[in-house]
Structure 1
Amino acid sequence: MKYSFLFLNRFWRLLMTGFSFCVFGLGALLLSTFFFNLLNCVIRDDKKRHELTQKSIRYSFKLFLLLTKITGVLDYQISNVEKLSEDDGCLVVANHPNLLDYVLITSVMPKCTCIVKNTLLNNFFMKGVIKAAGYIPNNDPEQLLKDCHHCLVKGDMILVFPEGTRTVEGEPFKLQRGAANIAIRSRADIRIVSIFCSEVFLTKNKKWYHVPLRKPVFNIEVGRKLSINSFIHEDGASLAIDVRKLTGYLTGLLDPNAEK
């Protein structure tokens, strides 16, 4: 009886997962095609346009997550979310086990700038969103650092997943040095966010229809803020050494298998 219920529940969640992603895709298409392009034409002030776009994205994600919760696709809990309201000019750094990590975190961030692939600027549906939201394309490394520094100086918050891609099961946990580079060069503090999921779901090697037997439960913990001054040496030490040490420290904090 128990296993029959689990399989029926799994089949229901499979249907609702497909339905939820269809709704997400349709909503994204409508917003990117019409609403965000309209904002680009109507609102000339970059700051106001970015704020309104990011707020629209945040509430859209809230609605999507509410849909997934009501239909039983998943459940989630976000602790210490109030800490994100305390931050200005800060890097928000998180591990990246799942396709929904960006959606979950962005849904509770008062303002959120993201780094996106430069190739998305050639995408008809995405380029309007990127411009309206003030997202940063990762074209040239030096230009990327300048753009990030400019955002952080203005008090914006940048969400970064230093793994560069979703965590691959069974492979060593490894961070790229981009996040540490931005933080060190911009002298920006870092807010740590840890993401855990009870089931293997929407990972790098799993498609949306690979629904686990039990409902996935996400636990997102907004952790402490790291003062960047603790990682910068003013005694002439190499910038590369500071970046490498900070990357190693972040690896220890974000690795879900590391002893905390």
Structure 2
Amino acid sequence: MTAKVGRCLRAAGSMLRAVPLYAMLVLLGLTSLAWNVIAMTLHPVMPAAHARTVGRAAIAFAYRSFWAIASFTGMMRIDAACMDALRSERGLIVVANHPTMLDALLLVARLPRSACIMKADLMRNVFIGAGARLAHYICNDSPRRMIKLAVEDLRQGGQLVLFPEGTRTVRAPINAFRPGVTLIAKMAQVPIQTVFIETNTRYLSKGWPLWRVPALPLVFTLRLGQRFAPSQDSDALLRQLEQYFRHQMEQSATEAPLACQTPRAPTLS
């Protein structure tokens, strides 16, 4: 009986500690909803170039503010400053592994020039759809059109955030990569910068329900990996990219986690 009471008390304590985390998630949702109302108003009247800049900068600012509050309250520890070295680069594809639902927020927060490729149903989502359309994020409803829009955006000096696994990781260390990223790099003639997201939690990973309370604080570390030049053989480059991710992540699983690292001289392969 005493053990049962102890378990109940620990569970209640865990839920109480998580209240600030869920309060911040609610705040993020409300902020996103408010921005979408504004974006819905701006989209029909704002020139495309200005809409793209304003929309992306606003999303990055909102997410960066969210991470700052989460860190200040002790709910999360985030080491992602190395991403700031990429902020001003023009024409760059940023690819990362995809352990949780929070990954895109981590990357976009540090890359105010970047666009994401989004599922068609998310582009219609009441919380993020209008903001994504204002920012000229790219819909994946048609693969040919998706690639065309991504290449155009990169040629205009934009950045593209991509998760080559296509969905959150379900088979460690990574899912098989889906085609597209290396073809876009080839057509746009831009490099691919690899980023590794390391975390101490499976919170909001595939199959983790939103209501399930995680252990706190949530820790995320981002580090920059090798940079790959575009290749005429995009299929071979995709295999090389997947092999590189798999090797690096298997290696990091057996070693102490690294702090966020800024790149040395970029490695082109």
Give the number of aligned pairs.
Answer: 245
Q: Secondary structure at 2:238's aligned position in 1?
A: helix
Deviations 1:147-182 (A, max 9, x none): 111111111101111111111155863111121221
Aligned match of 1:74:
76
Identity across aligned pairs (percent)? 24
**Letter of the structure 2 residue corresponding to residue 23 of structure 1:** L
Deviations 1:61-118 (A, max 9, x none): 1111122222322111014223313521111111110111111111111311111112
Deviation of 1:200 (Å): 2.2
Aligned match of 1:49:
51
Aligned match of 1:159:
161
Note if contact 1:7-1:213 (Cα within 8 Å) is conserved in structure 2. no
Distance 2:29 2:222 in 1: 24
Aligned match of 2:107:
105
Deviation of 1:60 (Å): 0.6
Deviations 1:191-245 (A, max 9, x none): 11110001222211212333333422100113332221xx32xxxxxxxxx2322
- What is the TM-score when the length of structure 2 is the normalising length? 0.81
Q: Cα–Cα, structure 1 residues 216 and 128, in superposed 2: closer, same or farther, change >3 Å?
A: closer
Aligned match of 1:36:
39
Residue 14 of structure 2 corresponds to residue 23 of structure 1: no
Note if contact 2:153-2:159 (Cα within 8 Å) is conserved in structure 1. yes
**Letter of the structure 2 residue corresponding to residue 30 of structure 1:** A
Residue 260 of structure 2 corresponds to residue 226 of structure 1: no
Deviation of 1:17 (Å): 2.1
Q: Secondary structure at 2:98's aligned position in 1?
A: coil
Distance 2:69 2:32 in 1: 15
Where does the alignment leave 5 or more consecutive residues of structure 2 unmatched? 1-5, 253-269
Q: Secondary structure at 2:87's aligned position in 1?
A: helix
Q: Cα–Cα, structure 1 residues 9 and 70, in superposed 2: closer, same or farther, change >3 Å?
A: farther
Note if contact 1:84-1:110 (Cα within 8 Å) is conserved in structure 2. no
Q: Cα–Cα, structure 1 residues 131 and 110, in superposed 2: closer, same or farther, change >3 Å?
A: closer
Note if contact 1:197-1:217 (Cα within 8 Å) is conserved in structure 2. yes
Q: Cα–Cα, structure 1 residues 119 and 14, in superposed 2: closer, same or farther, change >3 Å?
A: same
Q: CA RMSD in A?
A: 2.5
Q: Secondary structure at 1:129's aligned position in 2?
A: helix
Where does the alignment leave 5 or more consecutive residues of structure 1 unmatched? 233-241
Aligned match of 1:14:
18
Equivalences for 1:115-154 in 2 at 5 Å?
A: 115-123=117-125, 126-154=128-156
Aligned match of 2:250:
258
